A and B are shown apart, each in its own frame.
Chain A
């Protein structure tokens, strides 16, 4: 079991592949944003409406699976390419990306057509979905700074899914979206 032993007090930490690096290292930054994204998704899951029960359970299951995938991506990003640690990891797969696309399509089919640029907000759950979407975009930018292109498709699709999910949640709760009027 790995756990904190208080060796990071001087701003240095270990990558999964063992290198000692400053906490401002691009891989550490990327892992931090993936961690933040997983946490925000937890808040989103906790704010989901309880009804209809089937729909809420379905979305909670999706979010839990996404959180697990984010942990896998975090491990991948935390290991230097070509290191023994990276070799022991399973590279990011295409299947989670495909499943995100399917989930996005389902949300889009059940929500009304979009009429213009939307102001992020609506129900509490939809608002958390928008927060998660924007954190996801930041995580994507951070991960893009790491030589790890295998992780980017999932994050790119995830932000699209979270946008569609926000709209679906507002639709489920009967909340009218606010269209931005420039």
Chain B
């Protein structure tokens, strides 16, 4: 037998079931789940539009009947306007699942840190857990305005500690500032398992903070553009 590649890429053609705006420019898009499509919480799919491809993290449970993703509608973008504005029945080509951003609790305290739609993989993880007590994690969600906090009640109920961080206005029950500010001031200066999902800037700032203040930590990242 000749030496051949064993890599396989799974591609599917799926229909949109619904798309709805959650807040600001953030939409929740529900797609058909192809037969045999399996994913792990934290993984993403690629949506192919023309010659372009864009990745979106799934935010529903691993066992769900559909695929649910969070997308920020970028005016003039290649894929997100088509996806977010799509009507039920619209067809998209997708591939996946992609990525290794999966959460595995360890002996280190877990700190899940997201900004914006970077909350998607953490939602997926929480929704995939068996019913029971709140997950033993600290979840930081950074947004600019309080109205951008998504699924706050669900996240508060699902995590041992939920910290919404709002950077541009003061809001009841929220930390006023960035996730990095809260981490610097409130987290013990010891080793943690940091899971970072969000913008390049937030990821960079958190990693630099980890190097400076949290020796013995591990950092796991997924970056949204």
* Interface positions of A (Cβ within 8 A of B): 1-3, 5-7, 10, 12, 14, 16-20, 58, 61-62, 64-66, 68, 83-85, 87-88, 95-96, 99-100, 102-103
Contacts and interface: CB of A to CB of B under 8 A. Distances in A.
Contacts of B104: 84-85, 87-88
A180 B105 CA distance: 58
A20 B219 contact: yes
Listed from nearest, the 3 A-B pairs whose CB atoms lie closest are A18-B218, A84-B104, A7-B207
Interface residues of B, number: 32
Contacts of B100: 16, 85, 88
Interface of B: 1-7, 44, 55, 98-100, 102, 104, 106, 193-194, 200, 203-204, 207-208, 210-211, 217-223, 225
Given A18-B220, A20-B210, A5 B200 contact: yes
Contacts of B55: 1
B3 A100 contact: yes
Contacts of B217: 18, 20
23 contacts: A1-B55, A2-B221, A2-B223, A3-B200, A5-B207, A14-B219, A14-B221, A18-B194, A18-B217, A20-B210, A20-B219, A58-B2, A62-B2, A62-B3, A65-B3, A65-B4, A65-B5, A84-B102, A87-B104, A95-B6, A100-B3, A102-B2, A102-B3
